[in-house]
């Protein structure tokens, strides 16, 4: 009798665990992508909330049902990250998935410690689960920190490819300040005006569009990629912050900042990029000291000795 009762209890426990309740910590970019690629079609999980930081106008909104999918007919609420302690209790979440970038290793572990102290599991999804495979070659331009100069390198590569007669498009890391559109396409300056882009978005889109290079962005990067593939022989992933690419690259270019020596090993997920890179470019070398360059090259030798290294002013 006791054995049957114990078996019944275990069955009940298993059924409760069929839907794992998840909170995704984000900033209006990586978080939505991780949801779309990993969680959206998996009935095993139920994402009960996003949290938002870094980017304005993301919190206190709803990730819409048309993007969230069939398991989320009401969409998913987005809260300020400051609400996390309360959400950990009220939502009965079992897992916390950290999903944003340019944050120190120390801060990541502080958030992990908060989650673990409340009895929750803390996760980081990696490239294997979240990168989308393209049908055409992809070059990614990423960095170990925000502000290393990715945009300049992206424009240069795009211009060189275009001058060789190749059809090239740029896929830009999301900046979901205003709309949650699945796909955005910018081929003319009037497209930028029509979307009512922010100043930051304009700074990224206009120089490329002005040179006749189409830029794609949005929220659903599976759809973004498939649309971009239709008109491109080569794609460039223009990274945001120090995040790793959403699209699987054939060539990974990663930038390091000569004015911030040591940061390449101190920030998430910048160190991931450092370790993965095929080509590392140290930027601002005309402003950095020789000591800074020695520190950076020492870290490169330790973390990714096989990478090729260039220097740029």
What are the average pLDDT values for consecutive 10-residue runs of the chain, which has 313 residues?
41 54 97 98 98 89 97 98 97 98 98 98 98 99 98 97 98 84 92 75 87 96 98 98 99 99 99 99 98 99 99 96
Residues 161 and 281 both lie in one domain: yes
Contact at 8 Å (CB) between 245 and 131? yes
Q: pLDDT tens digits, residue range 65-83?
A: 999 999 999 999 999 999 9
Handedness of CA 159, 197, 246, 183 (dihedral sign): negative
The verdict on 191 and 112 lying in the same domain is no
Q: Which domain holds residue 42?
A: 18-128
Residue 65 shares a structural domain with residue 117: yes
Considering the domain boundaries, does residue 1 fall inside one?
no
Last residue in a domain, options 113, 128, 143: 128
What pLDDT was estimated at residue 312? 97
My answer on whether 268 and 145 are in the same domain is yes
Q: Residue 197 sits in a domain of what CATH number?
A: 3.40.50.300
Distance of CA 190 to the CA centre of its chain: 27
Q: Which residues contact 204 (CB under 8 A, 6 or more apart)?
A: 151, 172, 175, 215, 238
pLDDT of residue 7: 41
Q: Which of 112, 128, 144 is the last residue of a domain?
A: 128
Return the pLDDT at 17. 52
Q: Say yes or no: 158 and 296 in one domain.
A: yes
pLDDT at position 189 is 83
Residue 254 lies in a domain: yes
Give the predicted TM-score (pTM) of the model.
0.91
User: What token pair was written down for 203?
Assistant: 């700074």
Same domain, 140 and 62: no
Q: In this structure, is residue 175 part of a structural domain?
A: yes
pLDDT at 196: 67
> Which run of H or of E encompasses 4?
helix 2-16
Q: Residues 143, 72: one domain?
A: no
143 and 122 part of one domain: no
A 10 A CB-CB count for 176 gives 22
SS3 assignment, position 14: helix
The last residue of one of the domains, among 128, 149, 165, is: 128
Please name the residue ranges forming H helices in 72-179.
Answer: 84-90, 105-117, 127-130, 150-163
- What pLDDT is recorded for position 258? 99
């Amino acid at each position: 009798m006791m054995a049957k009762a114990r078996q019944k209890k275990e069955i009940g426990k298993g059924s409760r665990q069929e839907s794992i309740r998840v909170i995704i910590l984000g900033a209006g970019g990586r978080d939505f992508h991780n949801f779309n690629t990993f969680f959206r079609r998996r009935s095993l999980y139920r994402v009960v909330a996003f949290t938002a930081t870094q980017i304005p106008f993301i919190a206190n909104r709803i990730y819409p049902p048309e993007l969230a999918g069939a398991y989320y007919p009401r969409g998913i609420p987005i809260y300020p990250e400051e609400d996390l302690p309360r959400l950990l209790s009220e939502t009965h979440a079992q897992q916390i998935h950290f999903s944003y970038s340019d944050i120190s290793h120390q801060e990541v572990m502080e958030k992990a410690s908060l989650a673990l102290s409340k009895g929750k599991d803390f996760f980081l999804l990696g490239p294997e689960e979240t990168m989308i495979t393209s049908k055409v070659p992809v070059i990614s331009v990423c960095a170990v920190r925000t502000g290393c100069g990715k945009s300049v390198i992206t424009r240069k590569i795009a211009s060189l490819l275009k001058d060789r007669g190749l059809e090239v498009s740029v896929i830009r890391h999301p900046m979901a300040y205003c709309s949650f559109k699945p796909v955005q396409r910018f081929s003319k300056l009037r497209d930028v005006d029509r979307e009512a882009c922010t100043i930051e978005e304009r700074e990224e889109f206009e120089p490329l569009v002005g040179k006749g290079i189409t830029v794609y962005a949005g929220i659903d990067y599976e759809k973004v990629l498939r649309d971009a593939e239709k008109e491109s022989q080569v794609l460039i992933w223009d990274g945001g912050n120090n995040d790793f690419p959403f699209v699987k690259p054939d060539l990974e270019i990663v930038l390091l900042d000569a004015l911030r020596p040591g940061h390449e090993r101190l920030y998430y997920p910048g160190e991931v990029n450092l370790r993965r890179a095929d080509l590392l470019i140290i930027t601002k070398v005309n402003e950095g000291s020789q000591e800074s360059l020695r520190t950076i090259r020492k870290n490169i030798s330790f973390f990714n000795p096989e990478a090729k290294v260039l220097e740029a002013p």
